[in-house]
Amino acid sequence: MSSKYGPEFKHKIVKLHLEEGRSLRSIATEYGISKSSITTWCNEFNEECEAQSKNDPDTKTEADYMKENRRLRQ
């Protein structure tokens, strides 16, 4: 089963949600994708970051940086 969206696109969508704080609804409407797809991609991204942090627990993951950027913007 092939993916309709590439990893770069998925990462962009996750970044919009996690870092910029965009709502699932606004992203889904703008890009014509389902909210459940965005949720799945965010979960996959978080799992990937958690796996990376297990290798080096003192290193911040990309998800950590995205969340921190969002917090600072608010």
pTM of this structure: 0.68
Please check whether residue 36 lies inside any domain of the structure: yes
Please check whether residue 22 lies inside any domain of the structure: yes
Full domain range(s) for residue 30: 11-73
Amino acid in position 17: H
Tally of domains in the chain: 1
Please check whether residue 32 lies inside any domain of the structure: yes
Please check whether residue 2 lies inside any domain of the structure: no
Q: What is the dihedral of CA 62, 65, 70, 72, to 10 degrees?
A: -170
Nearest CA among 46, 48, 17, 19 for reference residue 30: 17
- pLDDT tens digits in sequence order for the chain, 74 residues long: 346 899 999 999 998 988 888 999 999 999 999 999 999 999 988 887 766 666 666 667 777 778 788 888 88
Q: What pLDDT does residue 74 have? A: 81
